[in-house]
Structure 1
Amino acid sequence: MFMVTINQDKCEGCGSCVDACPAKILGMTEGKAEVIGDAADCLGCETCLELCPTEAFSIMEL
């Protein structure tokens, strides 16, 4: 099981993570990426980590 978090101070709101997330747990709120689903539903694929130009994402294995 994995848990995804987003550092809002680093997020620039490009949105590339939202479209690419296979678990569909990411969305945009007020111009920033946000976990809108259950963060524990993260698949641990690291797609968001690879796409994020500001390294705003972190994934932790639980």
Structure 2
Amino acid sequence: MYVVSINADKCEGCGDCIDACPAGILGMIDGKAQVTGAETDCMGCETCVVTCPNEACSLQEL
């Protein structure tokens, strides 16, 4: 199982990670990307990590 997290201090709200996430678990709240879907739906593909220009997304395997 994987868990994605987004550092709000680094996120500039570009939405790149949201558009790229194949699981569709990321969304925009108050101008920042956040996990809005079920964390357990994360596929561990690291697309959000690679796509984020500010290195705000991180992925942890549990």
Tell me the TM-score normalized by structure 1.
0.95
Same amino acid, percent of matched pairs = 65
Distance 1:11 1:25 in 2: 16
Hey, what does 1:17 align to over in structure 2? 17
Tell me the TM-score normalized by structure 2.
0.95
Query: How many equivalent pairs are there?
Result: 62
Hey, what does 1:5 align to over in structure 2? 5
Once the two structures are superposed, residues 12-61 of structure 1 have per-residue CA deviations (whole angstroms, 9 ceiling, x without a partner) of 00001111100000000111101001122110100001110110011000
Q: Unmatched 5+ residue regions in structure 1?
A: none
Deviating runs (4+, > 3 A) in structure 1?
none
Q: Unmatched 5+ residue regions in structure 2?
A: none
Hey, what does 1:43 align to over in structure 2? 43
